[in-house]
Amino acid sequence: MRIELNHIVELICLLAALWNYKFLKGTIYFYFIYYLAFILYAELGAGYFKYVISPTLKPEERDNTHIYVWVVIVMLGFLSYFLYTEIKNAFFRKLIVVFTSLLAFYFLSLFFFFKHYIEPFFYGYTVAGLYLTLLCCVYFYELFLYSEEGDSILTLPPFWIASGIFIFFTGTSLSFVMHSILKNPSMRIMGLPLYSFISQVLSVLLYGSPVVAFVLIRKKQTKLLSSEMHKTAIK
């Protein structure tokens, strides 16, 4: 089985979340542990299917999209919920509930009612990616609208995660919509189709940004704890 770049960065991100366990507890960031554990487990399973099981199957049965359907459903649901908690506009919060449900229903329909759905999956992924990108834009707009002068957005954990989501899904959506072209055998880098290689590289940003967020949360919590201990010592 081949260990790919996304497996490594997902593992690093999961370990970072576990390392900061006590600082994340009681916040939405705590649930990144379960989310990352599932994503890593599923992606390793997809890799095992691709490199170990797939060669033993008939050509028409070698696709591992049936695994990535669930990866996308969980990713879409979790990231949408994260952005839902950060976006203040009531209208967009309602849209998140509706569109996330519709997209999840679409991917579930592919899994349960179709045998082969590679192209529909990629087009659905593109729509889901653009949808998450739009939500990030709404978050950025509200952030700049409500931020006070002198505040540094670089110290805000949600900003880093939203930035990672925005960059990753902007890049992968554009490449996945051209999947039929980029899967050409002549367009491979390091043995991977170009669309897959782009996704691998961008995954560094998607899973690197939560690591920065976890560090910022740890730093903030440590500072608060130190301040409380100092006040107690004075009393």
Spans of all domains in the chain: 5-234
**pLDDT value, residue 168:** 95
Please, which pLDDT band fits residue 49 given cuts at 50, 70 and 90? confident
Which whole number is the average pLDDT over 131-151? 87
Which whole number is the average pLDDT over 43-66? 84
State how far the Cα of 114 lies from the Cα of 109, in Å rounded to an integer.
Answer: 7
Please, which pLDDT band fits residue 44 given cuts at 50, 70 and 90? very high
Instruction: Give residue-wise pLDDT tens across range 142-201.
Output: 998 887 655 688 899 999 999 999 999 998 887 777 765 556 655 666 667 677 778 888
Which whole number is the average pLDDT over 110-120? 89
Please, which pLDDT band fits residue 56 given cuts at 50, 70 and 90? confident
**pLDDT value, residue 235:** 57
Does the pTM surpass 0.85? The reply is: yes
**pLDDT value, residue 150:** 55
Q: Is pLDDT of 62 > 70? A: yes
**pLDDT value, residue 179:** 61
Instruction: Give residue-wise pLDDT tens across range 210-226.
Output: 999 999 999 988 877 76
**pLDDT value, residue 146:** 81
- Under 8 Å CB-to-CB from 151, ≥6 apart: which residues? none
What is the average pLDDT score of the chain? 88
Which whole number is the average pLDDT over 42-54? 89
